[in-house]
Amino acid sequence: MEKLTNKEEEIMHILWKLEKAFVKDVLAEIKNDKPHYNTLSTIIRNLEEKGYVAYNAYGKTHQYYPIVSKEDYRKKFMNLAINNYFNNSYKNMVSFFAKEEKISIEELKEIIELIEKNK
C-alpha cells in the first residue's frame, strides 16, 4: 500500500465519508483550496492507479468508491509512523503526546482502563 499525498488523503477521507461519489460530488465537499475539476479528476485517477479506489462507469462519467478501508489505511500508516518516529514504542508515542499536552490525564486513565479490560 503506497503512502498518499496530503491532497490524496483529503480526497480519500471524502470518499470514505460519501462511500460512492462522482468527481463533482467530491468537489462539492472540499471546503478550502478547491482544485479545478480536471485537477481533482486527475487526483482521483491517481488514487485508482495506486489501488485505493475503483469506479462504476455510466457512459462517460465514473462513480468512484474506495476499495481500501479507512481502518486498513490507518493501521498501516500509524504503525509506520510509530516505527519511524517513536522507535516502534507506543510508550514513547504516548509520552510525546503527554509532554506536548495533547493528551489529558483523564484520557490516559481511559486508555489504561481499555488495556486492562482487553486483557
Domain harbouring 53, CATH code: 1.10.10.10
Q: Are residues 11 and 49 in the same domain?
A: yes
pLDDT at 98: 86
52 C-beta neighbours (distance < 10 Å), count: 22
Q: 28-44: buried (b, 16+ CB within 10 Å) or exposed (e) per residue?
A: eeeeeeebeeeebbebb
Q: Are residues 56 and 80 in the same domain?
A: no
Q: What is the mean pLDDT of each run of 10 residues along the chain (119 residues)?
A: 90 97 96 93 96 95 96 91 90 88 88 87
Q: Which domain holds residue 106?
A: 70-117
pLDDT at 28: 96
Asked if residue 47 is part of any domain, the answer here is: yes
Q: Are residues 32 and 79 in the same domain?
A: no
pLDDT at 99: 87
Asked if residue 55 is part of any domain, the answer here is: yes
